[in-house]
Amino acid sequence: MTTNDDLFSRLEQLNEIGAALSKVRDIERLLEHILIAAKTITHADGGTLYRVIEGGKALRFEIIRTDSLNIAMGGTTGNPINFPNIRLYDDAGKRNDAMVAAYAAIHDKTVNINDAYAAEGFDFSGTRTFDQRTGYRSTSFLTVPMKNHEDEIIGVLQLINAKNPMTDEVVPFAAADQSLAESLASQAAIALTNRLLITQLEELFESFINLINLAIDEKSPYTGGHCQRVPALTMMLAEAVNQTTSGPLASFSMTDKDRYELKIAGLLHDCGKVTTPVHVVDKATKLHTLYDKIGLVDTRFEVLKRDAKIAALEAQLALRDKRDADAEGKIAAALVEQVNALDDERKFLRACNVGGEAMKEPDQQRVRDIGRNQRWINADGNEVNFLSDDEIENLTIRAGTLTQAEREIINYHIVATIKMLEHLPWPTHLKNVPEYAGGHHERMDGKGYPKGLTREQMSLQARMMGIADIFEALTARDRPYKPGMKLSQAMGIMENFKKNGHIDPELFDVFVAQKVYLRYAEQFLDPAQIDELA
């Protein structure tokens, strides 16, 4: 290959590299690509990529590669770089012109050195020490500053030991090498800056999402954890499906963009709860509003007992002239019996006030009988039913602590979520967020809400989120109305949900087969909740 052919080939490489760099999302991987690309087009044996940090006061080692010594540090290698940062200025503000990488950054100037051992004006003592320790011979250096679109130096690209591709001999970096490296550094700086800006915007966006979840958390400590756990479990299930290589879900795969879109949907799946009244969200007992009104019921029982005692004493006093001890004894016994009956009713209503899984009809009827047959004198001196209609409605709630009206208020949060998300101008790679987030209360049989969608009308991601939302709710330890279920009980309920058309059966099979439930439990549940499955 002639020199011109080689140069033309490397120019083509440069164009391909520039296009490739714009597609890399991960910062560490991008930095790695930049250095490897620079080494490739200049035929360099080694190189280092530095990032400008501390507001332009220092350089940090990001990526180090030396092929002949098999050295690979930083980036995606997992091998940390423990070298100290290179300061660009000392404490007095004097420039660090002795270090070639610092010089290139400070003066925005490429430095091309044929032989480090013969170069003047720079301190290569560290290089010589490295060479002595490894047996390497650092010869040619090409150090190029990386400048962004705002003319700011954001990094330095340093290449070591250019090699003749025909003979593998170490040679100086040619003028063409320098031009190619400078062109690549310019493209790389733009790609890096764009990626950093996108990352910053993503972080800002996620911060706003976390701000919404914090607002929900501040309203109620019982929902903030849910907003973090559901997306975590959703991603666990999604990765398990992504790794599935057989069965009906084997064709499902996710890119990094797909993962990010699902993550955002998970974080926003309950954002509509900012509209839900806190007294409904936090309704720990059936009579709880801004406070638990069972205390008012207790007071009424005390009034009834007081009135009963007064009536008994008055009846006894009326017998004093007759001195009928037997009659007085009967009155006292009747009082004891009446007080015991009131205490029993009080104990019963307090038990009813605690939400359970299923209140029996006889117990519901007993609440109605107490509420309507028992009478008391209120603060206005009027004799009224012992329980109001609203109190009876609440105390006879069959399951949980919410009335039907309150359930509709809770359920409205998903409508609010969809409305809020559909009003946002989503970019293309996030366009499915409203659908993913808005479908987690739908059912496979079409009996869910708010749209009554069937399995075929929902995305796989929305169905994943539905499983995550239910399982988190069953096992959560921070709900005001119930303790967190044991793993076996929750999985039993999930199995029934699979059979009755509530959740996606194929996804749940992966949930079980890949033990997603167990990995989640080990990370988020109390150890006492983790038991053996039947």
Model pLDDT for residues 215-244, shown as the tens digit of each residue: 777 776 666 578 889 999 999 999 999 999
73 pLDDT more than 60 = yes
Q: What pLDDT does residue 242 have?
A: 96
What stretches of 319-432 show up as alpha helix (H) in DSSP?
A: 325-353, 361-373, 389-395, 404-422
Contacts of 177 (CB under 8 A, 6+ apart): 41, 42, 43, 142, 162
- Provide the pLDDT for residue 17: 62
Q: Which residues is 163 bridged to in the sheet?
A: 170
Q: Which residues lie below 8 Å from residue 336, measured CB to CB, with a gap of 6+?
A: none
Average pLDDT rounded to a whole number, residues 16-43: 76
Spatial separation of the C-alpha atoms in residues 235 and 259, rounded to whole Å: 8
412-to-337, 405, 467 alpha-carbon distances in Å: 48, 11, 20
Q: Which two tokens stand for residue 273?
A: 């709860």
Domain ranges of the chain: 3-198, 220-280+406-529, 295-399
Residue 226's pLDDT is 81
Of 141, 180, 187, the residue nearest 45 (C-alpha): 141
Tokens read off for 319: 């017998």
What's the confidence (pLDDT) of residue 222? 61
Q: What is the overall mean pLDDT for the chain?
A: 88
**Residues near 414 by beta carbon (within 8 Å), at least 6 away in sequence:** 272, 438, 440, 441, 449, 450
* Same CATH fold assignment for domains 3-198 and 220-280+406-529: no
d(CA 12, CA 32): 20
Give the per-residue pLDDT at 24: 63
What average pLDDT does range 172-189 have in this prediction? Answer: 87
pLDDT tier at 425 (50, 70, 90 boundaries)? very high
C-alpha 470/C-alpha 205 separation (Å) is 27
Burial label for 275, CB within 10 Å (0-12, 13-18, 19+), is: middle
Could you tell me which CATH class the domain 3-198 is placed in?
alpha beta
E strand or H helix that includes residue 146: strand 141-147
Question: Which residues on neighbouring strands pair with residue 61, listed in sequence order?
Answer: 50
Q: How confident is the model at residue 405 (pLDDT cuts 50, 70, 90)?
A: confident
Structure tokens at 168: 């593998």
> Is 38 a residue whose pLDDT tops 90?
no
Gap between the Cα atoms of 140 and 160, Å rounded: 6
Mean pLDDT, residues 132-145 taken together? 95
- β-strand partners of 58: 53, 87
Pairing of β 86-87 and β 170-171? unpaired
Please give the model's pTM, rounded to 2 decimal places: 0.66
- Architecture per CATH, domain 220-280+406-529, reads as Orthogonal Bundle (1.10)
Is pLDDT at 5 greater than 50 in this prediction? yes
28-42, 50-64, 84-98: the lowest-pLDDT one: 28-42
Report the range of poorest mean pLDDT among 22-26, 251-255, 490-494, 497-501: 22-26
**Residue 500 three-state SS:** coil
Residue in this structure with the two tokens 């044996």, named with its chain if needed: 45
pLDDT at 1: 42
Distance (Å, whole) CA 457 – CA 503? 14
Q: Return the sign of the alpha-carbon dihedral for residues 421, 427, 431, 436.
A: negative
What angle (nearest 5°) sits at the alpha carbon of residue 309, between those of residues 305 and 311? 115
Identify the pLDDT of residue 519: 95
The answer, yes or no, to whether residue 397 has pLDDT greater than 90, is no
Instruction: Report the C-alpha gap between 466 and 297 in whole angstroms.
Output: 39
- What are the distances in angstroms from CA 263 to CA 232, 238, 391? 8, 10, 42
- pLDDT of 4 > 60? The answer is no
Q: Is the pLDDT of residue 8 over 70?
A: no
CB 352 within 8 A of CB 395: yes
Percent of the residues in the chain that have a pLDDT greater than 70, as a whole number = 92
pLDDT tens-place string over residues 336-364: 999 999 999 999 999 988 877 688 999 99
pLDDT-based confidence at 455, cuts 50/70/90? Answer: very high
The secondary structure element, H or E, covering residue 126 is helix 125-134
pLDDT at 9 over 80: no
What pLDDT sits at residue 137? 96
